[in-house]
Structure 1
């Protein structure tokens, strides 16, 4: 085959006029000779040498025959090279390639047939509807088209959701075109929040605020209630039923029965009136946007083994207007060392945007409201130029790569990301010290501790960061 390829290339080089002298019949013979060889370079050489693009109309039926015979890979290469992808639909080439686990080739095809990107993503997202399994959604299609060499591992939820995520990101498809993927992401996110709250890594108020934002639709609200009920926290179940104002008859029978079983006998009527006259504590909490935390974690006070702020409260300054921003710039520009951290509320479907930037010196803490409309692009550019890009100021942080990436993406700071000498990442320094094993920490060896900032502060200062109140 390689000899044939070399001969064809030599023919075209030595006799360029051969292309013009070829008859359509000769072109068909050339196509038939190599149509299923699988060598892309040979396809291209034959196409150029024999000018197969002149007989596209004659080749379309032959490519459809390749599809009927299950040669989807070859059909994809021919349609791409001949630039006739617009003549074939999702179920002709793209979906069969996905079923055969030839995803890279399917993506190459979509790069050539960009008009099919959105319909493809929408169709694949429809397979993620959890009323059926992915395979059950595809059963009718598989029967109709009789695809060959289907890899059934592809027809499961996890690989299909990953594919939809990647394609939507690659082709910049808006999240409202992928409702089933959005639902899955939101459910997973709420389950993550619940586990983090149960493990003590998040306060009740923080958990409920984030969960309320994530549960933006009725199905998500029902999933949240079902998930919480599966862990037996029926006080929390009652809170969410009241907050979302969901009629009790819409709650699953098993959850209603569990609520009755876990209700004290003297308050048995309360279950029947959850949406009308719940206890004053819960009702007041719902009206205020959050219920009283009934867990032990929320009522517990911060013990002495947690770090507290050593500065008076007037040293913590909120920056939300132009005058305060200029005053802060003048102060920071005279510092040799500052620490910074950024905060953003996680978003399930949209891109995360920084909402708060914290900058600290030994004597002041600045909280910059990144969402304030009074802070113009010009002010942020000054902060980038006079502070972050200033080589004479050492900027200290923990896991700086993530913070700098988010700052660069969210704010017009115009950061010089190559100016690495003016940044000190405590996490990276700690990793190197643990590897060298030449430093003894004041409150432990540090070799078996976790890699969090909380663990580092405990090793160095003997106290943890209070995560419940943070």
Structure 2
């Protein structure tokens, strides 16, 4: 056997030195070895694995290590010859060393393959648990997780001894492999993380004995962010993770409060009320909700927002003996006007040192009667018929803003805006959420390769539309989209087009509009609950503007290219052949 193994290793070395494709050429020698020792295939294969591992045969710059190639050949050989291989020769004295070898390699590929082909499940459960405990004691936590999964002992072991150290090492993908095995495990992991919310120091203290612990992420903010993601992704009930839920709601309240009471252009009252009310579930409130509401009532009272404080107190049935004294003494006082709040509380969103001259505001160059609000089946049908006749469109969507709460769903489009050269359509996706014309819209426009569609971060808009029609059995295969979030950068990098400076405070589409058109978009209504009805005329025009400005940006960029003798049409066609969500252009 040693002679055969030496022959294999010598062949592999020679092939590497002569730059032959070893992945293909070494296979026949491995097959020959496995066929020769077919009657003792399991013992012989393990001997080969050990020998290849101990002979320090390094991976070449082009090929996998020979031990991995041997493992793959072993799998293929057993699969091809399953009917003639006598598993009776597979004894416990072979299985245990095979498991130990795979665990030592700390590789999921090795552990999963050995567990499957060496029939590790045939070992007594006590032996498998004993081996798992030994792996944990040796602090090989990734190997322990994989062995627990593939050796089928995941429910017979205290997994907290495995996943907590993995969290300290930020081996999150391995933790999630455990969570996917059973919803109960996912809940256990999130419940464990819940203990460390605002108490990351305890976890960091535990991590001192964990090799490879990532202390940079073991802080309150990092733990809270990670725990919230897991709780949302695995739909863990709020009752299991009250601290995570409390933390998420508190952050949402702080964010909304700043938007409403500490911004130069405050959030409108209707949006504030619908958004702040959506933070809490009035039908089944969490245990800490009243405390959060009470804190908010005190903050509102300090800002002399007495009417809103009373509204929330009544809505959440906060007894008057818990109200702030200042609120009790102002039972009938109205809210103080926002414009009269202390200037020290206002957060300026424009740095006057960076912008010496106030830039011009962008407005749609169309009369109001060319902006159509689509809120009926007949209007929707007419719109679809009209816009399919135009080869160039711009698409945008609006949705209810996300607050980062545990029970939030993925955003659905509340408005869909489509602009062509002479008209803008604003589709009320809330009113028409079940309309049959969505099938026509998707097939004739979204999936139509002959219509060029412009967008900005278009993948977000397409996702919102997909969520809207998710249960309507309509397949989306987006074609011919150009994402200007990336495309204009490609033009600048490829052709060195000189662009004007832009306000450092602006960003996104507003920044692009200023960069290309020299005008900025008014984004005061950006943070609006777009699912509210009815919508004001101002908000409809705001939504329409975000779509139409893309057509003007497109026209301006086209004229710039023509001035520089660049064939913009050819450039567009080349771009459309690429992934429309990336828009990476390589032009020489």
**TM-score normalized with structure 2 length:** 0.58
Residue in 1 that maps onto 2:19: none
Compute the displacement of 1:345 (Å): 0.9
In 2, the alpha carbon distance for the partners of 1:451 and 1:96 equals 40
Q: CA distance change for structure 1 residues 177 and 356 in 2, over 3 Å: closer, same or farther?
A: farther
Aligned residue runs from structure 1 range 391-410, under 5 A: 391-410=449-468
Selected match of 1:415 from 476, 480, 490:
476
DSSP 3-state at the match of 1:87: coil
Q: CA distance change for structure 1 residues 29 and 440 in 2, over 3 Å: closer, same or farther?
A: closer
Matched, 1:187 2:187: no
8 Å contact kept, 1:56–1:82: no
Matched, 1:382 2:440: yes
DSSP 3-state at the match of 1:85: coil
Q: Which moves more between the two structures, 146-155 or 460-469?
A: 146-155
In 1, the alpha carbon distance for the partners of 2:487 and 2:119 equals 62
8 Å contact kept, 1:342–1:358: yes
Residue in 1 that maps onto 2:426: 367
Residue in 1 that maps onto 2:223: 160
Matched, 1:5 2:50: yes
Residue in 1 that maps onto 2:511: 455
Q: Which moves more between the two structures, 64-73 or 155-164?
A: 64-73
C-alpha offsets along residues 77-107 of structure 1, whole Å, 9 cap, x if unaligned?
A: 4333321212123334333443454443333
Gaps of 5+ in 2: 1-45, 53-69, 281-288, 347-357, 526-541, 543-588
Q: Which moves more between the two structures, 381-390 or 425-434?
A: 425-434
Aligned residue runs from structure 1 range 61-460, under 5 A: 62-63=130-131, 65-66=133-134, 69=137, 71=139, 73=141, 74-99=143-168, 101-113=170-182, 115-128=184-197, 130=198, 133-135=199-201, 151=213, 153=215, 156-168=219-231, 171-173=234-236, 178-196=241-259, 198-200=262-264, 202-205=266-269, 208-209=272-273, 211-216=275-280, 217-224=289-296, 234-235=302-303, 238=306, 240-245=308-313, 250=322, 271-274=327-330, 276-279=331-334, 294=340, 305-348=360-403, 349=405, 350=408, 351-372=410-431, 374=432, 376-411=434-469, 414-417=475-478, 419-420=479-480, 423-436=481-494, 438-439=496-497, 444=500, 451-460=507-516
8 Å contact kept, 2:297–2:309: yes
In 1, the alpha carbon distance for the partners of 2:382 and 2:306 equals 49
Compute the displacement of 1:370 (Å): 0.8
DSSP 3-state at the match of 2:453: strand
DSSP 3-state at the match of 2:462: helix
Compute the displacement of 1:359 (Å): 1.9
Q: CA distance change for structure 1 residues 294 and 76 in 2, over 3 Å: closer, same or farther?
A: same
In 1, the alpha carbon distance for the partners of 2:110 and 2:365 equals 73
In 2, the alpha carbon distance for the partners of 1:342 and 1:292 equals 30
In 1, the alpha carbon distance for the partners of 2:477 and 2:259 equals 35
In 2, the alpha carbon distance for the partners of 1:181 and 1:415 equals 35
Q: CA distance change for structure 1 residues 86 and 385 in 2, over 3 Å: closer, same or farther?
A: same
Paired residues, what number?
Answer: 421
In 2, the alpha carbon distance for the partners of 1:380 and 1:39 equals 50
CA RMSD between the two structures: 4.6
8 Å contact kept, 2:203–2:218: no
Gaps of 5+ in 1: 257-269, 283-290, 298-302
**TM-score normalized with structure 1 length:** 0.70
C-alpha offsets along residues 175-214 of structure 1, whole Å, 9 cap, x if unaligned?
A: 6754433332333334334445534365343762464235
C-alpha offsets along residues 22-59 of structure 1, whole Å, 9 cap, x if unaligned?
A: 665x3687479759635556666775786543332340
Compute the displacement of 1:319 (Å): 1.5
In 1, the alpha carbon distance for the partners of 2:74 and 2:443 equals 61
Residue in 1 that maps onto 2:24: none
DSSP 3-state at the match of 2:176: helix
Q: CA distance change for structure 1 residues 335 and 161 in 2, over 3 Å: closer, same or farther?
A: same
Q: CA distance change for structure 1 residues 406 and 202 in 2, over 3 Å: closer, same or farther?
A: farther
C-alpha offsets along residues 199-232 of structure 1, whole Å, 9 cap, x if unaligned?
A: 4365343762464235424344345456x57xxx
In 1, the alpha carbon distance for the partners of 2:456 and 2:112 equals 52
